[in-house]
Amino acid sequence: MHAIEDFDLRRPPPGFIDDPFPWYAALREHAPVHRCPDGSLLLTRYDDCLDVYRNPAVSSDKRNLFGPKFGDTPLYRHHTTSLVFNDPPYHTRVRATLAEALKPRAIEPTVAALERVVAKLIDELEARRDVDVIEHFASRVPVEIISSLLTVPPEDRDDLRRWSLAILGALEPELTAEQHADGNRAVVEFGDYLRGLIEYRRAHPADSPNDVLATLTALYDRGELSERELIHNCIFLLNAGHETTTNLIGNGVHCLATHPEAAARLRERPALIKSAVEEILRFASPNQLGNREVANATTVGGLHVEPGTQITLCIGAANRDPAQFAHPDVFDVERSPNHHLAFASGIHACVGMALARIEGKIALGALLERFGTIELRSSPPVRRRIRFRGLERLDVTLSR
Ligand code: HEM
């Protein structure tokens, strides 16, 4: 292993992407407030991450971080306009609308649709038997659900995954020229697509009990959002709503295939699916990193920090912190309490967490109910990402 004091998130050591957890453990123990070569701080302890999420002296505004990284490009405009990378009062206004549209009561009609989508996919999986879980299941469920909330017609949904992977891929700590170009192209194509969809929906309103696109368009009509803000928040929502949830389901199936005793316990006691989903979120967190910038001088992990300091919160490491979780490297579907940070905390805590949890529960619950064994056919390749943790493909054999 490299010396931990040389650790650099922008140039991760060999093997880090496949298995970052030994690195996280070493950082947590020897350098919990680690200064990276670019001057930013990397936090790996649970308590330090939680403190930062709740600290009013830190900001989510990413203009200083993304200006040099993206230049004056569509990617810069997108990422600095979406609510997640903004502070109040703009953030509060957009969040209030989304929180209303995504609260458990509002998504009830979506749950019925979700059950139908999952039942159909499970039948298809049974007919195939040997499947790539990512392609044939994990990526399909969330794209159907978030698309139906934003009234995207079924025939257009395939493009969303491609655009989303390119746009969220540009949030990696270090980018190639090709990733830049792909990300910029995806923002332009996605934006043009949404402009067309909004126009179409004005003429042909969707027959939907919870039309989030219409809710956001109404804010624009009342002058509460600019056109740029409308488009970029829709892009963000479509992206946020599906890649992370794809990884929750994909990582979940992988955890169950590699822990057959846990899968057996869940078949025996299906009610445990709720705590199992929380454990998957903790153990294989779909989003491993969060970022903040110090706006006013403050203390982080006992260290005085000046305004302008960039902070990376390592969710994946915080969720394996032995000071917070007993036997953190053990996958325990009955873990309680389990106050993981997979959805972050504080004012930016995930607004779609109720929906994500239901998707995880219904998808994994139905899979376990139908199939008595989930057998890995090969060791699955991990997607070459540091921020989002998921599998490129997951080949399994499913049997009743
Ligand atoms: C397992 C699935 C998911 C995970 C792990 C996840 C994770 C996160 C995290 C860590 C944040 C905080 C980002 C930050 O602090 O900078 C966040 C924010 C957000 N997520 Fe999720 N998310 C998931 C699913 C969803 C879904 C399904 C939706 C929408 C339907 C959604 C919509 C959002 C939105 C709008 C925000 C921004 C909230 C704000 O800035 O106030 N997410 N998510």
CA dihedral for 173, 174, 177, 182, sign (positive or negative): negative
For residue 14, give every residue at least 6 positions away whose Cβ sits within 8 Å of its Cβ, in sequence order, or none: none
Question: Where do we find the tokens 């194509």?
Answer: 189
This prediction has a pTM of 0.94
Instruction: For residues 6-35, give the mean pLDDT.
Output: 95
Q: Spell out which residues line ligand 1, taking CB within 6 angstroms.
A: 60, 83-84, 95, 98, 102, 146, 237, 240-241, 244-245, 248, 286-287, 290, 342-344, 348, 350-352, 355-356
- Does 322 have pLDDT greater than 90? yes
pLDDT score for 47: 98
Tell which atom from ligand 1 comes closest to the C-alpha of 359. 27
Instruction: For residues 235-239, give the mean pLDDT.
Output: 89
How confident is the model over 86-140, as pLDDT tens digits?
Answer: 999 999 999 998 898 888 888 888 898 899 999 999 999 999 989 999 999 999 9
% of the chain exceeding 90 in pLDDT: 77
% of the chain exceeding 70 in pLDDT: 100
Give the pLDDT band of residue 172 (cuts 50, 70, 90): confident
**Average model confidence (pLDDT) across the chain:** 93
User: At residue 48, what is the residue type?
Assistant: D
Give the pLDDT band of residue 283 (cuts 50, 70, 90): very high
pLDDT score for 279: 98
Bridge partner list, 305: 298
Q: Between 315 and 151, where is the model more confident?
A: 315
* Residue with CA nearest ligand 1 atom 23: 244
The DSSP call for residue 272 is: G
Give the pLDDT band of residue 238 (cuts 50, 70, 90): confident
CA dihedral for 23, 26, 28, 32, sign (positive or negative): negative
SS3 labels along 197-260: HHHHHHHCCCCCCCCHHHHHHHHHHCCCCCHHHHHHHHHHHHHHCCHHHHHHHHHHHHHHHHCH
CA of 351 relative to ligand 1 center, distance in Å: 6
Instruction: For residues 245-258, give the mean pLDDT.
Output: 97
- Does 1 have pLDDT greater than 60? no
Instruction: For residues 57-66, give the mean pLDDT.
Output: 94
How confident is the model over 329-375, as pLDDT tens digits?
Answer: 999 999 999 999 999 999 999 999 999 999 999 999 999 999 999 99
CA of 347 relative to ligand 1 center, distance in Å: 11
pLDDT score for 148: 87
- Does 199 have pLDDT greater than 80? yes
* Residue with CA nearest ligand 1 atom 40: 84
CA dist list (Å): 134 to 125, 248, 334, 399:
12, 11, 25, 17
Give the pLDDT band of residue 380 (cuts 50, 70, 90): very high
Give the pLDDT band of residue 175 (cuts 50, 70, 90): confident
CA of 84 relative to ligand 1 center, distance in Å: 8
* Residue with CA nearest ligand 1 atom 27: 241
Closest CA to 182 of 158, 200, 205, 164: 164
CA of 52 relative to ligand 1 center, distance in Å: 17
pLDDT score for 2: 56
CA of 389 relative to ligand 1 center, distance in Å: 14
Pocket-testing residue among 293, 350, 357, 385, ligand 1, by greatest number of atoms within 8 A of Cβ: 350
pLDDT score for 122: 97
CA of 344 relative to ligand 1 center, distance in Å: 8
